[in-house]
Amino acid sequence: MHPGVRAGERSDPLKFTKGLYGVVYEIAEVANSWLLHRVEKNLLKAMKKEEKKKTMITVATSAPLNPSLFSSITPAKSRPQSRTRLAGILSA
């Protein structure tokens, strides 16, 4: 049933009563607490993600490099023409 049907039966359909105010206040309070909960949850998630990223960086930078890992890598052949081209670009 549409609210307009019953509005004609009341003497003042737009009167904002104490009971109606209480209902509206409760709805607003629940909405605000829900919003606050979501913001806190997202902040906590972002803080954990940032902490995890810092931990990964710390572990990666604090671990000593094993020289035996690089023994199988052979140096690339030098390309003098590339160096002169690059020097020309940088000097321009």
With a pLDDT cut of 70, the percent of the chain lying above it is 50
Query: Does the pTM exceed 0.75?
Result: no
> pLDDT by residue (tens digit) across 27-57?
999 999 999 999 999 999 999 999 888 887 7
pLDDT beyond 70 at 19: yes
Could you give the C-alpha distances from 37 to 28, 33, 44, 68, in angstroms and in order? 14, 6, 11, 51
Radius of gyration of the chain (CA): 34
What pLDDT is attached to residue 46?
94
Q: Where do the domains of the chain lie? A: 15-63
Distance between CA atoms of residues 50 and 62, nearest Å = 18
